[in-house]
Amino acid sequence: MGKELKLFFRLVLILCIAAALCAVAVGQKLPSADAIAASGSFSGQLYTNTALGFTMLAPGGWNFYTADQNSALVARNRENAMMSGDETLKTAAANTQVLFQAMPPPVAGRDLNALFSCGVERLTKPATGEKYIEANKNLVLRRSGVKVTKDIHSIKLGGVNFSAFDVEGSTNKGTYRQRYIATVRKSAALFFVITLYDDKQDVIVEHSLKSISFR
């Protein structure tokens, strides 16, 4: 598994824990996370997910991760949750799926200069988007050297309210910026984690996010 998949695995794991921390009781039956992911498809750059009722344009010209890469990520996520012995975490991981991941072509020998990740967690207990993202922020800040550059705020994408926050941090690849964006829809958390190592991809990322449309 490449470094970019390992990075997203850590982000998905954080989001799983976040949902577990902020959940309360519910009784509504929903499709599984696997079924929600299976309801998604691409027509060129246009992604459509019929279970969640939304479409969006993935970043143009970026390369998509294969189904096998995404499946390997999900399997590793669930395996680590099982090894943790934490029942709440195991439940959260079992209900999380990757919808798609994309990254731009390598630039000047740099194999990872941005990563656009979209995922879903089917919530077995309800949570608001605000609580989901707040718990997520608290966990992200446990990572050494990470600082908030824009605290939790609301943004509207496709006429739907999302909660978001931005951070900065560093790895052996250098300084990065991350945006965490999430909303709860049909008792599932739809989330985006966007990692940027420079500012050359900002415009295309914004264009992709603004293309989101809900039916």
Backbone angles phi, psi at 109, to 5 degrees: 80, 0
Residues facing residue 101 across a β-bridge? 117
- 210 φ/ψ angles, rounded to the nearest 5 degrees: -70, -15
Task: Round to whole Å and give the CA distance between 198 and 203.
Answer: 12
**pLDDT value of residue 42:** 94
Asked whether the beta carbons of 147 and 169 are under 8 A apart, the reply is yes
Structure confidence at residue 14 (pLDDT): 53
How does pLDDT run across 176-205, given as a tens digit for each residue?
A: 999 999 999 878 999 999 999 888 889 999
> Comparing C-alpha atoms, which of 199, 198, 193 is closest to residue 179?
193
Burial (0-12, 13-18, 19+ Cβ within 10 Å), 137: buried
Q: Report the distance separating Cα 173 and Cα 169, nearest Å.
A: 11
Residue 187's pLDDT is: 86
Could you give phi then psi for residue 68, rounded to 5 degrees? Answer: -65, -40
pLDDT of 160 higher than 70: yes
> Which residue do the tokens 């499709």 mark?
31
| pLDDT tens digits, one per residue of 40-84 | 999 999 999 999 999 999 998 899 999 899 999 899 988 988 988
